[in-house]
Amino acid sequence: MPLARNRPVLCAPHLPLTLALACLVLACTAGPAQAGSVDGVSDQSLATEWVGSVPSSQIRYARLVVPWDVMAPGSGETVHFGLLRSWLADVKSLGLVPDVAVEQAEVEVASDGESLPRVPASPVLYRRYVSALLSYAASVGEPISYLEAWNEPNNVGLGTAGVGHPSARTAAEYMNAATALCAEDGCKPIAGDFLDADFRWAGHPEVHEGATGMGAAYEREYDSFLDPVNPPVWGFHPYAAVKYETTEAIAEFRGALPDPDDSIWFTEVGVYECKAGQVTGGGGGAGEQEGGARYLSRLIADDFSVAHTFYYELKSPSEEQEERCSGGEDTSLYNYRGEARGAAQILFGAAASPAVQGASADDGLGPLAGVAGDLWGP
């Protein structure tokens, strides 16, 4: 999705989790998630947004999107580095598997006398800074398990005017660099990470494939520059597929893979409760959140045997967002009080029990909520 979708307004960096909360998490963890389920979270914060509020033993993975130059020592990336540092600490405390996705910087950054562009000018520059990111994570005791080479390289909506997405060749070169880095650092690279809105889906007004060529045509060109060829894991973001309840975009994506048996991960997806300032509704019909949750479950388990699925925005960040659809979009499964919506019950089943009040605002953690039931899996 657009950069703003992955980058909500950032709060001040939160304080580390207390020992008591960490012990609560460890004591309540359950077994591995079922195959074909939502088993990851793709939120930019694991504490201020949802720690203690999402009672699902299915959640085993955490995903963070960071600018490629997050480790730049100069000015410009202080906030994002603080976010990364806090996220790594929370991932470690909660026993989750870390997955980091790299994307363009929000602004140009001055670092050590040089100006770093929003998109790295070469794989050498990419490798220098992403290598520093992997080394830092390992140094704090939470090495990155999965590395998504570039978040939504085919998304023409990313960035401001005059700042384009990487070409298919450039995105493939980033993937090649990520593969080489993972060979050194022990992580597993994830290719693609394509947004489905630019793939073909007939009969829908938002179809873009004919105008932009940023769907299967981009994917095939990307494939042609990969070295080594045929990476085994590919990421995909099926927002439109879920919204319009169609398998066309995903089928086209899979049809353009070097090997149709490659593993598909939904590295980011959400079901809209609200979009473009309009409430879509929490009911079970097409285009409504509960109906979308059922359709997403079908895509994961039945239609495409998706290996892992990361949900975007598990918990609503504020009452204001719910009342006014602030910012234009809301895919949260839990309201700002931590209470499960119907879609959460569909995706998490009995594990989606409503949360109960826990930590208070004066203990340094902010308005977190404890959980009556299972938390996260190991």
Number of residues in the chain: 378
Q: Is residue 57 classed as helix, strand or coil in its secondary structure?
A: coil
Full residue range of the structural domain in which residue 86 is found: 32-368
Neighbours of 230 (CB within 10 A): 12
* The pLDDT value given to residue 113: 63
Q: How many domains does the chain have?
A: 1
**Quick one: pLDDT at residue 4?**
42
Taking CA 302 as the corner, what is the angle to CA 300 and CA 304, rounded to the nearest 5 degrees? Answer: 60
**Both tokens assigned to 369:** 């909520």
Q: Are strands 329-330 and 274-275 parallel, antiparallel or unpaired?
A: antiparallel
Q: Is residue 12 part of a domain?
A: no
Cβ atoms of 346 and 26 within 8 Å: the answer is no
Q: Is the dihedral of CA 100, 102, 105, 106 positive or negative?
A: negative
Residue ranges in 38-77 assigned as alpha helix (H): none
Look at residue 79 in the predicted model and tell me its pLDDT. Answer: 82
pLDDT of residue 371: 26
pLDDT reported for residue 73: 77
329-330: strand order across its sheet: 278-279, 274-275, 329-330
∠149-231-4 over CA atoms, to 5°?
25
Six token digits for residue 247: 């398998």
Token couple for 48:
């201020």
Given a contact cutoff of 8 angstroms between Cβ atoms, the answer to whether 352 and 56 are in contact is yes
> Which pLDDT value is given to residue 314?
84
- Residue 335 in contact with residue 341, Cβ under 8 Å? yes
Q: What CA–CA distance (Å, rounded) separates 345 from 352?
A: 5
**CATH number of the domain enclosing 63:** 3.20.20.80
Cα(179)–Cα(149) distance, integer angstroms: 8
- Position 1 in a domain: no
Distance CA 289, CA 283 (A): 6
Task: Please indicate, yes or no, if residue 375 is contained in any of the structural domains.
Answer: no
Q: Considering the domain boundaries, does residue 286 fall inside one?
A: yes
Q: Which residues make Cβ contacts (< 8 Å) with residue 234, sequence separation at least 6?
A: 190, 191, 192, 253, 257, 262, 263, 264, 265
Q: How far is CA 241 from CA 199, 212, 287, 290, 295, in A?
A: 10, 18, 11, 15, 9
Is 120 inside any structural domain? yes
Q: Which amino acid type is present at position 374?
A: D
7 within a domain of the structure (yes/no): no
Residues of the chain with pLDDT under 50: 2-35, 48-49, 53, 55, 159-162, 208-211, 354-378
304, two tokens: 């495409």
37 belongs to a structural domain = yes
Would you say 266 and 310 are in contact if contact means Cβ atoms under 8 Å apart?
A: yes
User: For residue range 39-72, what is the model confidence (pLDDT) as tens digits?
Assistant: 999 987 776 445 554 545 688 999 999 999 999 8
β-bridge pairing 146-148 and 188-195: parallel
Return the structure tokens found at 308.
Answer: 């892992």
Give the C-alpha separation, 90 to 106, whole Å: 24
Which residues, other chains included, contact 370 with Cβ-Cβ below 8 Å and sequence gap of 6+?
24, 52, 355, 356, 357, 358, 359
Is residue 23 domain-resident?
A: no
Q: Is 158 helix (H, G, I), strand (E, B) or coil?
A: coil
| Alpha-carbon span 4 to 155, nearest angstrom | 13
Segment 73-118, tens digit of pLDDT: 765 578 889 999 999 998 998 889 999 999 988 777 766 667 788 8
